[in-house]
Amino acid sequence: MKLWSQYFIPTLKESPADAEIASHKLLIRAGLVRKLGGGLYTYLPLGLRVMQKLTQVCREEMERAGAIEVWMPHVHPAEFWMQGPRWTAAREIMFRADSAGDGKRGPKEPEFVLGPTHEEIITPLVRAEITSYRDLPKNFFQIATKFRNEIRPRFGLMRAKEFVMMDAYSFDVSDEASIKSYLAMKAAYEAFFRRIGAQAIAVEADTGVMGGSYSHEFMVPAEVGDDDVIYNEASGYAANREKATSALVPKELADAAPAGTLEEFATPGVVTIAALEAAPYSVPADKQFKTLVYIGDGKPFLVVLRGCDELEEAKLGTLGFGVFRPATAEEIEPVMGAKPGSLGAVRGTIKNPGALAGVFADHAIRLIGNGTTGANKDGFHLRNVNVTRDLAVTKFGDFRRVRAGEPDVKSGQPLQVRRGIEVGHIFKLGTKYSEKFGAAYMDDQKQNHLMEMGCYGIGISRTLQAIIEQSHDADGIVWPWNSAPFQVLICVLDPQMAEAMDLAKKLAAAAERAGAEVLIDDRAERPGVKFKDADLVGIPLRLTIGGKGLKEGVIELKWRSAKDVAKVPVAEAEARVAAAVAEAQARAHANG
RNA sequence: CGGGGUGUAGCUUAGCCUGGUAGAGCGCCUGCUUUGGGAGCAGGAGGUCGCGAGUUCGAAUCUCGCCGCCCCGACCA
C-alpha cells in the first residue's frame, strides 16, 4: 500500500508541446515518464511499476514455454560483431562505447559497442558451452535494455534510442525441432499479450537484416503505428507491408505470344511514367516497364516493374546482397547508356550488360504482354516489348508493393490495409549465426551438425505505450488489470478525518489480501483534483471515501472502464472490495 | 541524411511582422475564505528570451552560423 502524498506521481494538466499522439501525451501527463533527450526517458515510479508488471508476466510466459533466463553484457567488444554476419549492415545503428576523452585514445574503429540485440553474444557462448545433442534444445532469454542509435526517435517510448526488450534465442538439433521451438514461442507471445491486456495479432513478416527463413511480427492495431498490415479477416491472411503478396498474377498465367515488332520511337524530354501516359504517346502506366538501377554489394543490378507499380524495397532482400541502395545518375549512365527516364532491360540495348549483377523482374510484368520501355538512349523508347522474347531477365520474383483491394492469395477476396504498432517479432534463423560462429553439436552417431537457431523479441517499453494507445479515453489512461501500476485507488476526499483514513486503510488491507496493489490518495487536495487525477492515471478500480458518504454510511466503488458508480454500505465494504478484486482477477485471467 | 516546423519561468504560451520597461495562465510559496469533478481573493518567488557572432545609440524582435527539439521519408522491438 502506498500513500499518494508520500509517493511521487507528478501529473500535468496540460500536454507538453513535443507530444503529438495520445499515448505519448498521457505517458507524460500521468507522470509515468520524463524525457531526458530525444528517445531517452526516465521512468518515474508509476511507469516503472507498469514496466515491472509487463516484465514479470513476460518472464512467466517465457519460462512456461521452457526458456531459461540469463543476463548478458550491454557493452560488447566490437570484434564479436565484426565476426558476425551483419557488421556492415548493423553498425550504423550501434552506439560506440569508447572512452569519452577528447579522441587521443579513441581508435578509428570502435573497440566497444552498446548492444542493439544479442545474437553475436549468445551464439559464441552456446558454441563454447554446448557441444552435445544431449544438451539440446535450449532457449535462453533476457529482459534488458537495448541501445539503438535510431535515426529518428519518435512518439516517446514508441521508438527510443534506449529501450527495454525481452530477447530470446533458441538452439535446436534439426529444422523440425527448430519449428517446434518457434511455435512454442509464438504461443508464449500470444499468451503474454493476452495476459497483459494488449490486442496483438501475429502477421507474416520480412526477415530483414536478421536473415533467416521466416518470421512473424506481433502488431497492435493503431492508427499511429509505423507499419501497414495487409490482411483479409475472413481467410486469416495477415502480413506486413514488406512481406505482403497477393494473387494479382494468376499462378497459371500463360505468357502471351509475342506481338508486333520491336520498334524505337522518339520521346524527347519524356523521363517519367506520367509523361509517357500523356498525349501524344498515351501509353497507360500498366503497359509500361519501369526499370530501376540498384547497387548491390558494389555491383549494379536492374529491377523491372510495371509502370503502375511501386517497388517494395525490402523485398530486394531476398536477392542475397549484403547491402543495396539505389544507384545514382552518375553510376547509371556508363552501365545503361542513358540517363534515368530512358532506361530499359531489352536485350542488346544495355550499354555494358557485363557490369550487371542481374536483371530481376517482378512477376506482374508478365501481365503487360506487349509494352513500352526506355531504349537506353536519351529521348527514345521502345514499343512492342514482349517479356519473354525481349527482356534479359535473370530471375522473376515478387518485388512490388501490394495495394488494398488486390485478391488475397488464400481466398481471392480483396485485401485490406490498416496501421499497426510492432510490439514483437519472432524469427526462424536457420544456421546463419551458428555457421558464422561455429555453433555445432555432436549427434549420437558422432556426427557434427550446425545448430538450428531462432530469435525472438518483445519491445516491453513499446508495449507499455501501445497499451495506452489502445486503452484510453478523453480523460486519461484505462489500464488493463494486469498492466496497471496499482489495481485499486482509494480516494479519500477528507484525509484529515481520522475515520475516513482508518476506513481507507482497512479497505486497502482487504484489497491486498485479495491480491491487489493499492494506492491511497490522501493528498490535501480538493475532490475535483483527485477525480481528475484518478481518471488520468487510470487505475482500474476506484473506491471513494468522503465525509458526505460516511454520514450516509456508504462509500463508492467505480471501475475506470465504466461510467456507473456503486454505493456500498460501509459495513459491507471490505467484503465487496475483496469480491471486486477477485472478479477482476478472474476476468483478467480468462481473457487477458 | 533529405524536406518542413519550432526554441521566451517547472509546464502551456503572448510579444517578433513594424527594434526601445519581458507579459499572462497553470504550477510553486504565504495568508484568509472555500471543499464531491482541475476553487476565490490578496501578497510573493521564479527569466543568460537555445548558443555564438553581426547590424544598430539600442536586439526576444533584423542578418548569418551552430545546437536542441518536433513532424514527414528510409530503419527497427
pLDDT at res. A434: 97
Residue of A345, A333, A354, A404 whose CA lies nearest to A374: A345
Average pLDDT estimate for A522-545: 97
- What's the rounded Cα separation, in Å, for the pair A394 and A22? 49
A181 CB contacts (<8 Å, ≥6 apart)? A137, A139, A170, A172, A454
Name A348's Cβ contacts closer than 8 Å, sequence gap at least 6: none
Q: How far is the CA of A321 from the C1' of B24 (A)?
A: 60
Q: Are A230 and A415 in contact (CB under 8 A)?
A: yes
Chain A span 503-562 residues with beta carbon within 7 Å of strand B:
526-529, 531-536, 544, 546-549, 556, 558
Burial (CB count <10 Å: 0-12, 13-18, 19+), residue A554: buried
ipTM attached to this prediction: 0.95
pLDDT, residue A551, reads: 95
Lowest mean pLDDT of A202-216, A324-338, A364-378, name the range: A202-216
Average pLDDT over residues A460-465: 97
The residue length of chain A stands at: 592
Sign, Cα dihedral of A469, A474, A480, A486? positive
- Stronger pLDDT, A34 or A241, i.e. the higher one: A34
pLDDT tens figures, A240-260 = 888 888 999 888 887 777 888
pLDDT reading at A423 higher than 60: yes
What predicted TM-score, i.e. pTM, was given to this entire model? 0.91
Residue A274 is predicted with a pLDDT of 87
pLDDT of residue A106: 59
Strand ranges across the sheet with A289-296: A324-326, A289-296, A299-306, A359-362, A395-397
> pLDDT exceeding 90 applies to what percent of chain A?
76
The per-residue pLDDT for A479 is 98
Side chain identity at residue A505, one-letter code: K
Measured between alpha carbons, how far is A50 from A68 in angstroms, rounded to an integer? 23
- Considering chain A, what is the average pLDDT of its residues? 92
Decide if pLDDT at A210 tops 60: no
> Cell 547491402 belongs to which residue?
A323
Percent over 70 (pLDDT), chain A: 97
**Using 50, 70 and 90 to split pLDDT, how confident is the model at A213?**
low
- The answer to whether A405 CB is within 7 Å of strand B is no
Q: What is the mean pLDDT of residues A367-393?
A: 93
Q: What is the pLDDT of residues A299-325, one digit of tens each?
A: 899 999 999 998 888 888 888 887 788
Q: What is the mean pLDDT of residues A557-561?
A: 98
Find cell 576523452 and name the residue: A101
**Residue A207: pLDDT band with limits 50, 70, 90:** low
Q: For residue A253, give the DSSP letter.
A: P
CA of residue A553 to C1' of nucleotide B62, angstroms:
70
- How many helices and strands (H and E) does chain A possess? 15, 31
List Cβ<8 Å contacts ≥24 apart for A443-446: A443/A133, A443/A173, A444/A133
Number of neighbouring beta carbons within 10 Å of residue A233: 10
DSSP E strand stretches across A25-88: 33-37, 40-43, 68-69, 75-77
Segment holding A303, helix H or strand E = strand A299-306
pLDDT of A208 higher than 70: no
Q: Which nt has its C1' nearest the CA of A567? A: B36
**Cell digits of residue A246:** 497477393
Residue A108 is predicted with a pLDDT of 73
Q: Which nucleotide is nearest to A210 (CA to C1')?
A: B76
CA of A95 to C1' of B5 (A): 28
Q: What is the mean pLDDT of residues A135-153?
A: 95
CA atoms within 13 A on the CB side of A223: 4
User: Among chain A residues 96 through 125, which have CB within 7 angstroms of nucleic chain B?
Assistant: 117
Instruction: Note whether A243 and A401 are within 8 A (CB).
Output: no
Task: Give A105's pLDDT tier (boundaries 50, 70, 90).
Answer: low
- Residue A343's pLDDT is what? 92
Higher pLDDT, A1 or A150: A1
pLDDT per residue as tens digits for the range A107-127? 678 889 999 999 999 999 999
Long-range pairs of A495-503 with CB within 8 A, sequence gap ≥ 24 = A495/A5, A495/A522, A495/A523, A495/A524, A496/A524, A497/A547, A497/A550, A499/A550, A500/A545, A500/A546, A500/A547, A500/A550, A503/A545, A503/A550, A503/A555, A503/A570, A503/A573
Q: What is the mean pLDDT of residues A254-269?
A: 87
- The predicted model gives A171-190 an average pLDDT of 96
Residue nearest to nucleotide B74 (CA to C1'): A151
- Give residues 129-168 of chain A lying near strand B (Cβ < 7 A): 148, 150-155, 157-160, 163, 165
